[in-house]
Amino acid sequence: MATFILIHGAWHGGWCWERVVPLLEKQGHCVLAPDLPGMGDDHTPLDKITLDVWARFVADLVLQQDEKVILVGHSRGGIVISQAAEYCAEKIENLVYLTAYLLPNKQTILKTLEQHPPRESDRLPKFIMSDDMRASVVESADVRDFFYNCTDAEWCDRAAARLCWEPVMSFSTPVKISEEKFGKIPRSYIECLQDKGIPISMQREMQSALPCERVITLDTDHSPFYSAPEQLAAGLIELAQSKKIVKRIS
């Protein structure tokens, strides 16, 4: 059985994995889905949060486990697991990027977005900024289209009510990774075809820049933990059991 640590993306908390965790645990796997500092129910002040704080928090959690872990990052969580890998590479079995930012050394999310301007048919969401301009949240009217366009309304509403402030530093801080540590860990990618948050074209360009040994394709939105939890759990279990696969699940 595997140990999974699931790292949420921007504006979310560990709660977003609530439909996936029971499915993995039912198959006998150990699963941790923490709130990153300052996110979800963790009340660390956002002005104390840096990418390194998040990465060391995750690395400490990895190092506490008895065996190697499968470290999964969703969306912005991709840069968190990449950075954490620098601090605990020896305890990571696989890095799994769930429609996530898989960035090369010294790259930022903001720079990646600037290099991939939206098509005319794409509409970026509107954001509300905090008074000190250090955090943002997606306007409620745009939440469904941006995150949950394939998700049942009940789950979309439940999730939308729990979104929180995201520190802007997460978009402007570069990852600092090396071939000696991050580069030695097997990587997998779970791409989502209907994703409006990170379009499939961007997902595949990131995979081309940093190839992954294993790829799973889901025909769903940016939030498969709500829109397709069974398929996502099945994909994660496949990754835990397989040495090398390229598989499509729809």
Q: Which domain holds residue 120?
A: 3-249
From edge to edge, which strands make up the β-sheet containing 214-218? 30-32, 3-7, 69-74, 92-98, 187-192, 214-218, 246-249
Mean pLDDT over residues 81-110, rounded?
Answer: 98
Calculate mean pLDDT across residues 185-199. 96
CATH at 207: 3.40.50.1820
Closest C-alpha among 21, 38, 71, 6 to residue 168: 38
Query: Strands of 127-129's sheet, edge to edge?
Result: 127-129, 135-138, 166-167
Q: What is the pLDDT of residues 209-222, one digit of tens each?
A: 999 999 999 999 99
Can you tell me the distance from the alpha carbon of 146 to that of 222, in angstroms, rounded to the nearest whole number? 8
Rounded Cα distance, 136 and 194, in Å: 24
Q: Is 128 helix (H, G, I), strand (E, B) or coil?
A: strand
pTM listed for this prediction? 0.94
**Among 194, 197, 219, which residue's Cα sits nearest to residue 118?**
197
Would you say how long the chain is, in residues?
A: 250
Helix (H) or strand (E) holding 25: helix 21-26
| Pairing mode, strands 92-98 and 30-32 | unpaired
pLDDT exceeds 80 at position 80 = yes
pLDDT tens-place string over residues 153-177: 999 999 999 999 999 999 999 999 9
Over residues 19-44, mean pLDDT:
97
Which residues are known to be catalytic? Answer: 195, 222
The mean per-residue pLDDT over the stretch 223-239 comes to 97
Q: How many domains, in total, are found in the chain? A: 1
Look at residues 105, 106, 30 and name the one whose alpha carbon lies nearest to residue 66.
Answer: 30
Gap between the Cα atoms of 248 and 3, Å rounded: 23
Q: Are 37 and 16 contacting, i.e. CB atoms less than 8 angstroms apart?
A: no
Say if residue 243's pLDDT is above 60.
no
- Residues 127-134: contacts with CB under 8 Å, at least 24 apart: 130/165, 132/47, 133/168, 134/46, 134/47, 134/167, 134/168, 134/169
